[in-house]
Amino acid sequence: MKKILIIMAATLIVGFVRVDARESSCMSCHRSSEWVSDTTAVAEYLKADIHFSRGIGCEDCHGGDPTKGFAEGDPELAMDPSKGYNPPPDKTGIPDFCARCHSDIEFMKRFNPRLPTDQLSLYRTSVHGKLLYGNKDTKVAVCTDCHGTHGILPASDSRSSIYFQNVPSTCKSCHSDQGHMAGYKYKDKQISINQYDQYVNSIHGVMALQQGDQSAPVCNDCHGNHGATPPNIASVSAACGECHASNRDYFNQSPHKAPWEELGYPECEQCHGNHLIVAATDSLVGIDQGALCIECHDAGTAGYLAAAQMRMAIDSLKKAIDAAETTVLEAETKGVEGGQARFDLGAAKDNLTRVRSVIHTFDRAQVTEITAAGILTAAGVQKTAQAALGDIKARQIGLATSLILVLLVAFALWRKIRKVDEKTDFVVKE
């Protein structure tokens, strides 16, 4: 017990020492409106700043002597250049300012060994970095524009500006501002400001922002973060392929691969778009209104006919699955155990899922092979379910027949008993 009390006391002492270490002239002055006009910097820092939680004080970034100034009534004592104090840098100096620690491998190992230390190198390769260092353009994003300043939170914190659901809004603050983006071009075209509006209505935006699905991509998943740059034709498919690997591989085997390269088309984006990516449906394939195939393939051409056949194969599989599903459900409602039927029907549905990916080969032979196998499985399920329904009907007929016979026998017995009773009554009266 004595040992436990000693440990608890030691813990409290360490805690108080740590708090005292945080109390500095910097904080004392910047928390007092009598000394500074804006006290929000310290307030934000003390809330949950990642640096504060790791024991990093004002002087670790700004230099100076945090033990002097407030008590003496002279803030210049704390901001002593001989003690390493430097005024906060202007915007052009912020990346290098942050990199003093974040590019120091040995220093960062003390806090988070997994955190990369190449952010500045990456930033210099980004569009933002090139404009900042090359053109001294201070409108571009630097560290503090995305991460904040004194209230920096880790990316895992839902309040952080770089939490995955907040990234689109963080990027939006610049990229949806018409005045801010005026004059910025990509490939001699004015950069649009509708990316955010398109993204929130896309399948990715719905999954990430509305459903909270962390597997859904946000801006930095496709564009990068510190090395952010607009994707070129080659890198669009590479970005999409990181998640949609099968579709990428199938497309690379397709007859569209070579002409796409010759025409300079971006592979995935050409059909699916970029920021406004809608949920892919079977209606994108075929020759009906709204199908993408007819945007390039004229009526009567080989591509046009292939598109029609592939869509027909997919629709046939869907109809076979729906028919089997209806029959199995009917059988289940009448008491038939549907475990095996459901299992087999799942295999047919797997064929449908697979063919929707294989469609990116644009090979009608492969599409037909997969759909035919699924149709055969679904047909077998339906046949089995129909047979079960037939057995139920036969049993129902047999049961009804037996019931009628029982009723007839019962009626005959009743009539016989009545006659016997009548004779008995007559004898008694005599």
Domain ranges of the chain: 1-88, 94-152, 302-429
Highest mean pLDDT (candidates 87-91, 204-208, 384-388, 426-430):
204-208
Quick check: helix, strand or coil at residue 190? Answer: strand
CA 293 to mean position of chain CA atoms: 28
Task: Compute the mean pLDDT over every residue in the chain, rounded to the nearest whole number.
Answer: 87
Residues shown for the chain = 430
Rounded Cα–Cα distance for residues 5 and 11 (Å):
10
- Sign of the torsion formed by the C-alpha atoms of 404, 409, 414 and 415: positive
Q: 310-361, pLDDT tens digit by residue?
A: 999 999 999 999 999 999 888 888 787 778 888 999 999 999 999 999 999 9
Is residue 48 very low, low, confident or very high in pLDDT (cuts 50, 70, 90)? confident
CB 291 within 8 A of CB 307: yes
The residue written with tokens 């999954």 in the block is 207
At 310, list the tokens. Answer: 């592939």
Lowest mean pLDDT among 20-34, 118-132, 280-294, 300-314: 20-34
CB 317 within 8 A of CB 351: yes
CA 403 to mean position of chain CA atoms: 61
CA 294 to mean position of chain CA atoms: 31
Q: How far is CA 98 from CA 113, 130, 293, in A?
A: 17, 17, 51
Cβ atoms within 10 Å of 211's Cβ, excluding its own = 10
Q: 230-258, pLDDT tens digit by residue?
A: 776 567 778 888 899 999 999 999 999 99
Residue 330 is predicted with a pLDDT of 86
At 289, list the tokens. Answer: 């209104």
Question: For 26, what's the count of Cα atoms within 13 Å in the CB-facing half-sphere?
Answer: 22
Q: 273-294, pLDDT tens digit by residue?
A: 889 998 999 999 999 998 999 9
At 210, list the tokens. Answer: 């509305």
Quick check: helix, strand or coil at residue 338? Answer: coil
Phi/psi of residue 389, nearest 5 degrees:
-65, -35
Quick check: helix, strand or coil at residue 185? Answer: strand
Quick check: helix, strand or coil at residue 166? Answer: coil
The residue written with tokens 């995305």 in the block is 146
pLDDT at 11 over 90: no
Report which secondary-structure segment, H or E, holds 189: strand 189-190
Who's near 271: CB < 8 A, 6+ residues apart?
Answer: 284, 292
Rounded Cα–Cα distance for residues 70 and 66 (Å):
9
Name which residue leads in pLDDT, 26 or 390.
26
- Sign of the torsion formed by the C-alpha atoms of 84, 86, 92 and 94: positive
